[in-house]
């Protein structure tokens, strides 16, 4: 006779009684990899499926974060969200039946509301007796049996609250997966919660849940839960009337359904714009209409090349260049949003983005870095640390980390340092163009070189092609590892030098600053006769830069910075006044007019038209007995043409207001001057204004234009 199968396959209680503890499921990482740009400015990306957020354009510096895929908002802990979703599936909250149960509970009273309250963390089920008939043992619901089976397996291991919750969450995830079926939507929350809704991670171990409708639920602590003994009826007296009670969670995310008060509170804290600017409260002080305006598409990319002392940041986080750039980027966005500055922008001006070019961290000049040939075991290997005395350690460490990059640059390491700058700048630019289609065709790129970074920028731009080769004009199609590129993949509009020793390097090489032939279209259109070899230079000559405007910004207390006007023409540099960058805020005793000298000159000057500005002022009539000095007008004319081709303002050197006061100690002020540029509002406003202004002399501000010194006797 054939044997008959007597096993009750549909009876899940057999699993409860006899199944051993299941082994932990092995997760196979076969999901596709993806990177999703996030944030207002799209400066960070989330790597999938790891759910880790990190910067796109620079090496992470304590600014990585784990991302949670939330299902219930206000966002609750991941395991709590999965337990809420399991209860949502078990009770079938989306059905008309659940709506009828809620109505019945309100009609019955407190005892009825007790029955519709869902326990967030279910109690451990009791064992089902084997003496009961199979029909009774099989009456429980499918979800109840699954959870009961999961909890019963804990008897194999020592039972703790943590292990019990872990098993409950695993069972809840199974319930969620079963509810959607194979190939269905994944409604589970994913990620590891590092903090919760109220700060610390919470489990809400003794709380209950009332699902008010298909979208909203309330997490209630025991003192708020329905009670027939105390007569508590939270559903009828609070939830249905719209009163705040417990923790409100909404299934899914719908900004339109969010609480207006919560959105307003978060807007004040700057949660939505923390990646790209300061809190809106501060921004509205300068421009009340800024909060209503949409963020424009970025039209100007500013790449900042750091210089001396980035090895210092490996020991002292406060000196880190990336942190300084994050703060500087926020200040630039705030400054660009002020009404006084926006009125000076060109018509096609969009947003400004500032990105760091971190080239130094990838280089090592010691401990085996950049050495050719076989290793000699008998060679004496020593490093900078071995030859540094142990006296004055704090001062020596700063000198070693800050000042010694210049000797490294003047050594045989120079080509590798320049190659590192080009490689990193092109990498950042390519990533930016990939994430911002069309920028390579319509956007403008500017460079800020700080300290040694300014010297390397001059070296690179002296050999930069006047026009980018055709096959390199679309950086998204260039495979950088395979290409040997010795120049930037972009044309440079403005070059800002901050705290720059470039003037000293020009002196060492006995070179002078020259405009590039056929480069500056706006100025050459106004004066075509200037496009000659007598005025301009060719590619490859040190100091002949492929830029439209060159700015040398000097802090008078900075011992590293040098002037550069004389590198164009010493006599012409002596004939113009020292240029101070206009103050963005009025001082204690200055008038309001002086604080706005960026855009307002004297009444006579402000009434000039563009043509009258370009026209030379009339010479005064001198007595016939006055002996005139002999001038070389040809040289002076050439020098002036060169200066205006190098900068629309007619000068290159600009001094910042810094320090001062009766109690100032200049030597202490000097220590912080070299790294102070990113903190000065005058510096920030100058960068924003010069980047966004219209091209040509007509687009310059009165406070930035060169002013000739008055001759004696005039």
The tens digit of pLDDT for each residue in 545-561 reads: 999 999 999 988 888 88
pLDDT digits (tens, 9 = 90+) for 150-161: 555 545 556 788
> What per-residue string of b and e applies to 191-210 under the rule 16 or more CB within 10 Å gives b?
bebeeebeeeebbbeebbbb
**Which letter does DSSP use for residue 124 in this model?**
P
The residue among 323 and 92 whose pLDDT is bigger is 92
> Which whole-number Å values give the CA distances from 388 to 46, 393, 401, 596, in the listed order?
43, 9, 12, 50
The residue among 171 and 254 whose pLDDT is bigger is 171
pLDDT at 386: 79
On whether the CB atoms of residues 640 and 650 are closer than 8 A, the answer is: yes
Indicate if the pLDDT at residue 667 is higher than 90: no
d(CA 157, CA 430): 54
Indicate if the pLDDT at residue 413 is higher than 90: no
pLDDT at 48: 83
pLDDT at 449: 94
pLDDT at 588: 47
Indicate if the pLDDT at residue 12 is higher than 70: no
Indicate if the pLDDT at residue 43 is higher than 60: yes
pTM of the model: 0.74
d(CA 117, CA 235): 10
Burial of 530 (0-12, 13-18, 19+ CB in 10 A): buried
> Which whole-number Å values give the CA distances from 507 to 502, 503, 563, 565, in the listed order?
9, 6, 11, 12
Token pair for residue 353? 């983005």
The residue among 553 and 185 whose pLDDT is bigger is 553
On whether the CB atoms of residues 645 and 536 are closer than 8 A, the answer is: yes
pLDDT at 710: 79
Rounded average pLDDT over 67-86: 86
Indicate if the pLDDT at residue 603 is higher than 70: no
Burial of 377 (0-12, 13-18, 19+ CB in 10 A): exposed
pLDDT at 598: 59
Burial of 354 (0-12, 13-18, 19+ CB in 10 A): buried
Rounded average pLDDT over 233-250: 90
Burial of 657 (0-12, 13-18, 19+ CB in 10 A): middle
Q: Is the dihedral of CA 71, 74, 80, 84 positive or negative?
A: negative
Give residue for tokens 């219209």. Answer: 694
Indicate if the pLDDT at residue 128 is higher than 60: no
Where are the strands (E) in 618-657, listed by range?
A: 653-656
pLDDT at 558: 83
Rounded average pLDDT over 420-449: 94
Q: What percent of the chain has pLDDT over 70?
A: 68
The residue among 202 and 375 whose pLDDT is bigger is 202
pLDDT at 610: 41
List the single range of 187-196, 298-307, 323-332, 519-528 with lowest mean pLDDT: 519-528
List the single range of 151-165, 208-222, 444-458, 504-518 with lowest mean pLDDT: 151-165
Burial of 237 (0-12, 13-18, 19+ CB in 10 A): middle
Indicate if the pLDDT at residue 262 is higher than 60: no
Top mean-pLDDT range of 459-463, 594-598, 710-714: 459-463
Which of the four pLDDT bands, split at 50, 70 and 90, describes residue 572?
Answer: very high
**Which letter does DSSP use for residue 62 in this model?**
S
Rounded average pLDDT over 173-189: 86
pLDDT at 135: 47
Rounded average pLDDT over 418-442: 93
Indicate if the pLDDT at residue 192 is higher than 70: yes
On whether the CB atoms of residues 529 and 590 are closer than 8 A, the answer is: no
pLDDT digits (tens, 9 = 90+) for 291-307: 444 567 899 999 999 87
Helix (H, G, I), strand (E, B) or coil at 452: helix
Rounded average pLDDT over 225-240: 92
The residue among 101 and 12 whose pLDDT is bigger is 101
Q: Which helix (H) or strand (E) holds 273?
A: none
d(CA 655, CA 563): 10
Q: Which residues pair with 190 in a beta bridge?
A: 69
Indicate if the pLDDT at residue 284 is higher than 60: no
d(CA 401, CA 312): 5
Indicate if the pLDDT at residue 364 is higher than 70: no
List the single range of 26-40, 136-150, 232-246, 538-552 with lowest mean pLDDT: 136-150
Rounded average pLDDT over 52-58: 89
Top mean-pLDDT range of 196-205, 241-250, 577-586: 241-250
pLDDT at 387: 78
pLDDT digits (tens, 9 = 90+) for 466-514: 999 988 999 998 888 877 889 999 999 999 999 898 999 999 999 999 9
On whether the CB atoms of residues 496 and 551 are closer than 8 A, the answer is: yes
Rounded average pLDDT over 455-473: 93
| Cis before 444 (ω within 30) | no
> What per-residue string of b and e applies to 481-508 under the rule 16 or more CB within 10 Å gives b?
eeeeeebbbbbbbbbbbbbbbbbbbbee
Q: Where are the domains of the chain?
A: 34-258, 296-365+388-613+640-704
Rounded average pLDDT over 79-104: 92
pLDDT at 591: 46
Indicate if the pLDDT at residue 226 is higher than 70: yes
Burial of 190 (0-12, 13-18, 19+ CB in 10 A): middle
Q: What percent of the chain has pLDDT over 90?
A: 34
Phi, psi of 572 (to 5 degrees): -65, -40
- Mean pLDDT, the chain, as a whole number? 77
d(CA 205, CA 121): 6
Which of the four pLDDT bands, split at 50, 70 and 90, describes residue 5?
Answer: low
Indicate if the pLDDT at residue 52 is higher than 90: no
pLDDT at 136: 45
The residue among 583 and 513 whose pLDDT is bigger is 513
Phi, psi of 587 (to 5 degrees): -80, -175
């Amino acid at each position: 006779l054939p044997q008959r199968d007597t096993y009750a396959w549909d009876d899940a209680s057999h699993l409860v009684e006899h199944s051993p503890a299941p082994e932990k499921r092995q997760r196979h990482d076969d999901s596709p990899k993806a990177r999703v740009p996030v944030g207002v400015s799209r400066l960070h990306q989330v790597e999938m499926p790891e759910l880790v957020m990190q910067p796109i354009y620079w090496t992470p510096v304590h600014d990585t974060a784990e991302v949670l895929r939330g299902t219930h908002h206000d966002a609750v802990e991941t395991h709590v969200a999965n337990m809420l979703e399991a209860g949502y599936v078990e009770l079938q909250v989306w059905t008309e039946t659940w709506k009828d149960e809620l109505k019945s509970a309100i009609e019955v009273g407190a005892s009825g509301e007790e029955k519709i309250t869902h326990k967030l963390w279910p109690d451990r089920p009791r064992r089902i007796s084997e003496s009961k008939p199979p029909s009774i043992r099989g009456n429980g619901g499918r979800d109840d049996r699954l959870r009961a089976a999961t909890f019963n397996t804990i008897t194999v291991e020592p039972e703790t609250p943590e292990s019990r919750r872990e098993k409950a969450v695993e069972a809840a995830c199974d319930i969620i997966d079963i509810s959607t079926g194979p190939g269905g939507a994944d409604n589970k929350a994913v990620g590891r919660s590092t903090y919760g809704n109220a700060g610390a991670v919470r489990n809400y171990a003794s709380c209950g849940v009332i699902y008010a409708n298909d979208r909203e639920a309330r997490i209630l602590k025991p003192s708020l839960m329905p009670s027939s003994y105390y007569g508590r009826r939270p559903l009828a007296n609070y939830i249905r009337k719209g009163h705040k009670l417990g923790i409100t969670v909404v299934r899914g995310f719908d900004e339109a359904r969010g609480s207006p008060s919560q959105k307003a509170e978060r807007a004040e804290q700057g949660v939505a714009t923390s990646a790209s600017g300061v809190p809106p409260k501060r921004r509205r002080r300068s421009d009340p209409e800024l909060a209503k305006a949409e963020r424009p598409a970025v039209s100007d990319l500013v790449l900042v090349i750091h210089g001396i002392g980035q090895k210092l940041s490996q020991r002292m986080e406060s000196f880190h260049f990336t942190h300084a750039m994050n703060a500087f980027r926020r200040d630039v966005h705030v400054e660009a949003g002020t009404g006084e500055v926006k009125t000076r922008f060109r018509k096609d001006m969009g947003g400004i983005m500032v990105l760091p070019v971190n080239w130094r961290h990838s280089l090592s000049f010691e401990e085996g870095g950049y050495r050719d040939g076989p290793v000699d075991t008998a060679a004496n290997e020593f490093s900078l640390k071995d030859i540094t005395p142990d006296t004055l350690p704090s001062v020596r460490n700063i000198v070693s980390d800050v000042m010694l990059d210049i000797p490294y640059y003047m050594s045989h390491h120079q080509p590798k340092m320049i190659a590192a700058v080009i490689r990193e700048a092109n990498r950042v630019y390519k990533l930016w163009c990939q994430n911002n289609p069309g920028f390579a065709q319509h956007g403008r790129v500017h460079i800020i070189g700080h300290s040694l970074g300014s010297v390397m920028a001059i070296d690179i731009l002296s050999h930069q092609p006047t026009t980018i080769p055709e096959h390199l004009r679309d950086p998204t199609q260039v495979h950088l590892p395979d290409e040997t590129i010795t120049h930037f993949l972009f044309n440079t509009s403005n070059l800002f030098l901050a705290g720059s020793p470039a003037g000293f390097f020009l002196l060492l090489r006995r070179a002078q600053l020259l405009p590039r032939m056929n480069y500056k279209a706006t100025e050459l259109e106004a004066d075509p006769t200037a496009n000659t070899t007598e005025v301009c230079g060719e590619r490859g000559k040190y100091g002949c830069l492929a830029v439209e405007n060159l700015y040398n910004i000097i802090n008078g207390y900075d011992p590293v910075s040098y002037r550069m006007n004389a590198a164009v023409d010493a006599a012409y540099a002596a004939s113009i006044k020292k240029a101070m960058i206009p103050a963005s805020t009025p001082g204690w005793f200055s008038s309001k007019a002086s604080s706005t000298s960026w855009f307002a000159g004297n009444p006579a000057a402000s009434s000039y038209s563009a043509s009258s500005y370009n026209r030379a002022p009339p010479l005064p009539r001198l007595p016939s007995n006055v002996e005139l000095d002999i001038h070389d007008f040809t040289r002076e004319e050439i020098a002036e043409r060169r200066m205006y081709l190098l900068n629309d303002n007619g000068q290159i050197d600009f001094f910042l207001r810094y320090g001062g006061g009766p109690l100032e100690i200049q030597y202490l002020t000097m220590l912080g001057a070299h790294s102070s540029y990113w903190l000065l509002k005058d510096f920030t406003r100058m960068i924003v204004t010069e980047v966004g202004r219209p091209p040509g002399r007509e687009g310059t501000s009165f406070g930035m234009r060169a002013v000739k010194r008055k001759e004696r006797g005039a």
